[in-house]
A and B are shown apart, each in its own frame.
Chain A
Amino acid sequence: MYNPFSLEGKTILVTGASSGIGRAAAIECSKMGATVVITGRNKERLDETYLQLHGEGHIQLVADLKEEESISYIIDNVPVLDGCVNNAGITVTLPTSFINKDALNNVLQVNTISPILLTQSLVKNKKIKNGGSIVFTCSTSGVYNAVVGNAIYSASKGAINGFMKNAALDLAAKNIRVNAVSPGMIHTNILESGIISEEQLKEDMKKYPLKRYGEPEEVAYAMIYLLSDASKWITGSNLLIDGGLTLL
């Protein structure tokens, strides 16, 4: 069947695949024909994702991206890839005057430093094929808009947006494409810290022109596009997936 968005025959690494957007990305990529390598910290949750994958030959790697050794562990255990989704991420809500070094280091390590070093190592070790595609999960926050109390998180994602563009330029010589997706609020565990009450979330949803938050699959579909040959001439772009929020 004619399908320019197919991932048939491609091998794709997804970080943060044990929950939320990463889980949906892994499952949807497998449904589009890819072999996936999934990684996350939590073995049980990673297993849950694994069980929902379609097809055969998928690999799971338990690794904590806060530890530097994890990157070499992943590099040593991944086959040569056609694509990589740098998606693992955390958040913290702290008004600017309450920012502290530990919270800052913690978020930057997972959201910014590890994805950059993982990308560097994959390329250096020739684990991404010529013609491959790298996708980052950015955010509207820090790229297109700002949210009260979200400064650390915005800094981490703004930095990734900058890295994505520059890596796109550097890696064009190897015909490796680098892009990002920027979701608005998506229904995942990331919202469940309780810092923001349920009522506030309901109010917040009404602000979206499309009147709801997104679903993890709705981000996964955009990732699939960027991973597939349908986007062969797209590099350095950051695709907005926000139900119209930033139109306002």
Chain B
Amino acid sequence: MELKKFIENFASQFDETEASVFNADTVFKSLDEWSSLMALSIMAMVDEEYNVSIKGNDIKNSKTMEDLYNVIKSKL
């Protein structure tokens, strides 16, 4: 699993937010387009792409993209 690819997969769930906004340090929950539906979409994307189930709390406890990436990596 690669951080760059993860960021791409994450960014592709968004429609309004430019892909360039997303990097390892992005505090994703403060983005305007973040919502409960987006959280569910991220969980579903992670399940599809990495075969890893993340929970609501994993998202809650991650601040940056890299934090979430590390959670997923630890479950691979």
Partner-B contacts on A (CB < 8 A): 93-95, 97-98, 148-149, 193-200
Contacts and interface: CB of A to CB of B under 8 A. Distances in A.
B20 interface: no
Given A94-B44, A98-B41, A199-B60, A148 B55 contact: no
A97 B48 CA distance: 12
B37 A196 contact: no
A98 B46 CA distance: 11
A148 B37 contact: yes
28 contacts: A93-B40, A93-B43, A94-B40, A94-B44, A95-B37, A95-B41, A95-B44, A97-B41, A98-B41, A98-B45, A98-B48, A148-B36, A148-B37, A148-B40, A149-B36, A149-B37, A149-B40, A194-B55, A194-B56, A195-B40, A195-B56, A196-B56, A197-B55, A197-B56, A197-B59, A197-B60, A198-B57, A200-B36
Contacts of A148: 36-37, 40
Contacts of B37: 95, 148-149
Indicate the member of B37, B57, B60 with the most A CB atoms within 10 Å. B57
Contacts of A95: 37, 40-41, 44
Contacts of A199: 60
